[in-house]
Amino acid sequence: MQYEVKETLDEFSRLMSDINKSIPEEYAAFLKEKEALVKSGKIPEKTKWLLLLIASVAQKCPVCVPRAVQHCLKAGWSKEEMLEACMVAVLVGGSSVMTFVTLVNKAVEEPA
């Protein structure tokens, strides 16, 4: 299966930069909201990143998956813990979600 982690993230970053230039206030608001939601609260930040990974797999987002993997690794989650958690997404989304579990594995093996 063709999926280039670094190239996908590089292209996404370039496209988001263009959006930021077009609508800087809205873009800044989006980033501020993301930061607020990801930081530790009643749920630790480490756990929130694992939840974001599971949601990224369930929603089949080729950009969100490697970004969440990077954050999960920094937070201390192991490859095995991430893969096991992502299998919950397969329960919800069916076997087609398994394709995105393989992207988790690839993002761990080939960091951007």
For the stretch 28-78, pLDDT in tens is 999 999 999 999 999 999 999 999 999 999 999 999 999 999 999 999 999
Q: How far apart are the first and last CA of the chain?
A: 17
pLDDT number for residue 110: 86
Number of domains in the chain: 1
Handedness of CA 12, 17, 18, 19 (dihedral sign): positive
- Rounded-to-10 torsion of CA 60, 47, 82, 107: 60
* Strands of the chain, DSSP E: none
Instruction: Give the number of C-alpha atoms closer than 13 A to the C-alpha of residue 14, restricted to the C-beta side.
Output: 6
Residue 68, both tokens: 């969440």
Residue 14, both tokens: 């370039």
Residue 47: give its domain's CATH number.
1.20.1290.10
Specify the amino acid at residue 76: G
Domain interval for residue 19 = 5-109
pLDDT number for residue 30: 95
C-beta separation of 56 from 64 below 8 A: yes
Question: At 111, is the pLDDT very low, low, confident or very high (cuts 50, 70, 90)?
Answer: confident
